[in-house]
Every structure is written in C-alpha cells, then in structure tokens.
Chains A and B, each alone.
Chain A
Amino acid sequence: MDGTVAVLPNEVAIVARAMAEPAAFAAVYDHYFPRVYNYVRYRVGDAETADDVTAQVFERVLVNIGKFRPERAPFAAWLFAIARNAVNDHLRAQRRHRWLSLEVLRDRASAEPRPEEVAIHNETRAELLAAVTRLSDRERDLIALKFAAGLTNRHVAELTGLGESNVGVILYRAVRWLRAELSAKE
C-alpha cells in the first residue's frame, strides 16, 4: 500500500499537468474533493465552515501544486498536509467558537422533508458526525485522516508527529469510544 486508498489512475502524471491543464486539475479535484471535504467536515463539524475551509484547501493546492514532489510522498499525503494545515489555521482563528451541538445537527437532519429512510440515514450520519465532534482535537484529526482521507497509519504518523503504533492505538480507542457513544443513543 502506498500510503493512501483509491489513488487516481496515472496520478503522478495527472498531477504534474494539473498546474496548467484544466482537464488534469479537474480530474484531481473530482477525485479528491469528497475526501478533502469529509476530512474537513469531520474536523470542523458544520457544513458551512467545511465549505469555506475546503475552498481554501483547493486554492492552496492550485497555488502550490507545482511544488509537489512525487518522490517524497504520495500526492494524498501532500494534499492532506495542506488540508490539515488549513483546518488547524481555521481552528486557531476560531479557538473560542463552539461547534454545532448534537441538538443542532439533529434539527438540521430532521428538518429536511425527505422520505423516512433518507431521514433515518441522515440522522444516523448526523449522530455519527456529532459523536466525532465530541472527540478530542487529536482523536478527531486521526479519525479524519484515517477514514476520510484514507491514509495509512504511517502517513498519519508522519503528518501528526505521533508514532505509527501510537496512531493505531489512539484510532482503536477512538472508534471504540464512538461505538459506545452511538450505542448509548440507540
């Protein structure tokens, strides 16, 4: 495994052209937008902020993509280093801001006039997201890097400065804690 899941086919060549070719940048954007958005969303909680920060991430990517060196790290690791920095910058600037509560997230999900099945799905998703936002910053970062970004523990460790084995333990604990939180709500 090269450090990430679902690598874009011919990724290195496409990324090399993405600086100047709209079609190549579009391929990168389309492939990675959901993962970047999900990463940011897990970390910041609300959709509006996730949009703002995700936009900042891709703007930084566009400015810096010519500096990406494939021999140093997989593109996803480079990309999520940018995403992580953008989120950290945002969180530092908003340190005193409290993210959306579970109740707000539930209201948002249940307020949508959709079929019941979709509503249940949304509620489950909202509860999961709400539970993630109750993790510590570090645990949330690791959960997002692992499950939204799809990085290996080795690259998560490199990005966060933690030991690889330690990353595995923290992730395992965090997932078990989330499981217990969601079970308690059922």
Chain B
Amino acid sequence: MGEWRMENGEWNERDWADRFTRDVDGLLNEAGRTDSEPLPAEYRQALDLARMLATTDLSAESQVRHTLRRRLLNQVGAREGWQLRKEYVMRTFFRQRRAAVILAYVVLAGLLVVTLAWPGTLATAAQSIYDVIQRIVVGPNTQVVQIDPQTRSEPRPMPPDMWYIDTEIGGFGGNVLPGADPTVHSVASFEEAQDFTSFHILAPGYLPEGYTLREIKLAGDDAFLFYGGAGHDVILMQTLVGPQPSDDPNVRVSVKVGWFTDSPVEEVGLEGRTAVWLVDAHVLTWEANEINYNLGGLDLTLNEAIHITESLE
C-alpha cells in the first residue's frame, strides 16, 4: 500500500478516486477488508458508506421473487428439449375423429446431430403457427399446450414410412429412431407385450364393469392397451420419455411428449402430480417415473379416469 501513502496531503481528487476504486474493489471482493493505514476521516467515512451500499440487500422486499421464479422455470421447462436447435425429431401424430385437432409429438434430441428427419420440427412449427392460450408443464418431459382454435391449421400429411395405430379416440402415427423397427406388433397378453418394451407396462386394477383387456399394440417404445366392454374402448397409452441411451458419446438423446389441443384443458392433481384432462378428447395425460401415460375413452369421465389411474400397478 506504500504507493498510496499521502505526501503532505497533496493528492488531488482523481488520486483519491483511484484509491477509492481500489479500496472498493477490495472490499467488494474480500467482504469488507479493513485497512490499518491512517486515512482522513472523510475518506474513511466514504469507504464505510461504500461498504454499506455494497452490503445493503433490498431484495427481501420483493413481492414477486418466488412467483416470478416459478413462472420462468415453467417456461424453461416448457421449452426444455423443444428448444434444442439441432436435433433429430421423431413425431407422433394424433388425429382425433371429432372436430378438435389434437397433436402429440415426441422429440428425440441429439445435441450434436444436425440431421433432421424433416425440415423444421413439429414443435417449432406449432409454436410459430399457433397462438398459445396456455401451456401446462405436466412433468419434466411432458407438456400440454392449448392453442387458439382460430389460429390452428390442418396437420401436415404423415409420411408413408410411419407406424399407425387406429383407436376410437383417434389415430396415432409416428416415426421411430433411425434403425428402429417401425412395425406395429399386436399381442394379447402383458407377458408378450413386455418383450417389446424397455419399461414395465402398468395395468389397471380397476376398470368399468365388464371391461377386459382385448389387445396390446406396440410401436417403438409406445404401448397401447385396449380394454373392451359394453361401451366404447378404454385405451391406455404408455410411452418411455426422458434421457435415453445413445450409441454415440457425442449425442444426447431424450424423448419428450407434448399435446397441442384447441379444446379446453383442465389441470388435475393426481397423487401429488400434475395431470391434465383434455376435455373434448376425454384423455387424461400425466407423467410418472419417466413414463408418459395417456388414458382415454369416449365414455370416460374425469372421475372414472382418475379412479382407473389410481389403480395402476
């Protein structure tokens, strides 16, 4: 500190300002360093005030800190995966039989893979074409987006090499990862179905009276369970989501599921999780343990759907 020693009090303002800058940076970085060197009282008082300015935290008075945090993180969660610019995209289309158009998509993100299955992504397209009314983050890998029906456009035609599964609530189609088998398999038992999926398929312990398992269809890592009875089918779809193994150490693969709907949606608490009831589609969607579940049926009510959901094992 010798270079800063006063000589007969002849420092000018700029000299003191330079010293002040150094001392302030010192106290900002060293949490209030004190200097034993004798200094003019006025200068010491200025340093004391600088310390006070640096340590005064007014942020406890903020009324928005936590709500803003929650809102922003929801936005980040909603864009997670969908905002990865360079990626391979796997799309799953859902065509509802009735007026409302609902699309589901699955994104496989390879961070360093530039190859695109098609120009653009369904997610990007949807976000740019539609006006979003609300976006609900259902889980780390699942979101529901309600769009303005005035701004929706017809879904693009599906490419011919996709798998397709027809159900009473609509038709699902999609592509698979490069090298994966796009064939739709149909089996009659859980034991057989389990051979096709890398996750444990859950079955409901409760179903409407008279309903039994009729068929399980499998495409990629999607399982469609069809339960038949006196009325319309009850359909339970299960999809593996989240980070997936990758053969390439430079590629990160992750599966995301999203619904775009122009019909009303209702947020529902489900055993401590967030679920969403797609009102017109009669579909309840939620995520648990990196599986996206969709339970639907034209006769299904929300209460009935929750009852079935709570019985899954």
Using a CB–CB cutoff of 8 Å, the interface residues on chain A facing chain B are 1, 5, 18-22, 25-26, 29-30, 33-34, 37-38, 41, 47-48, 50-51, 54-55, 58-59, 62, 66, 125, 128-129, 143, 146-148, 150, 152-153, 165, 168-169, 171-173, 175-176, 178-179, 182-183
> Known contacts being A38-B56, A58-B68, A176-B42, is A1 close to B25, with CB within 8 Å?
yes
B184 interface hit (Cβ, 8 Å)? no
Q: List 14 A-B contacts (CB under 8 A).
A: A20-B84, A22-B73, A22-B76, A33-B69, A58-B72, A62-B75, A62-B76, A128-B52, A128-B53, A165-B18, A169-B17, A172-B46, A179-B48, A182-B49
Contact between chains at B49 and A54 (CB < 8 Å): no
Min CB distance B312 to A, Å, is 27
Using a CB–CB cutoff of 8 Å, the interface residues on chain B facing chain A are 13-14, 16-18, 20-21, 24-25, 28-29, 42, 45-46, 48-50, 52-54, 56-59, 61-65, 68-69, 72-73, 75-77, 79-81, 83-84
Complex Cα distance A153/B58, Å?
Answer: 23
- Report whether over half of chain A's contact residues are helix, strand or loop; otherwise say mixed: helix
Contacts of A55 in B (CB 8 A): 64, 68
Contact between chains at B24 and A146 (CB < 8 Å): yes
Contacts of A172 in B (CB 8 A): 13, 16-17, 20-21, 46
Min CB distance A144 to B, Å, is 9
Contact between chains at A37 and B72 (CB < 8 Å): no
- Contact among A37, A62, A152 with B58 in the assembled complex (CB-CB below 8 Å): A37
Q: Nearest residue in A to B54 (C-beta to C-beta)?
A: A147
Complex Cα distance A57/B42, Å?
Answer: 37
> Known contacts being A147-B53, A168-B21, A172-B46, is A22 close to B80, with CB within 8 Å?
yes
Contact between chains at A147 and B50 (CB < 8 Å): yes
Q: Nearest residue in A to B78 (C-beta to C-beta)?
A: A22
The 8 A-B pairs at the shortest CB distance, nearest first, are namely A147-B53, A172-B17, A34-B59, A37-B59, A168-B21, A169-B17, A168-B17, A51-B64
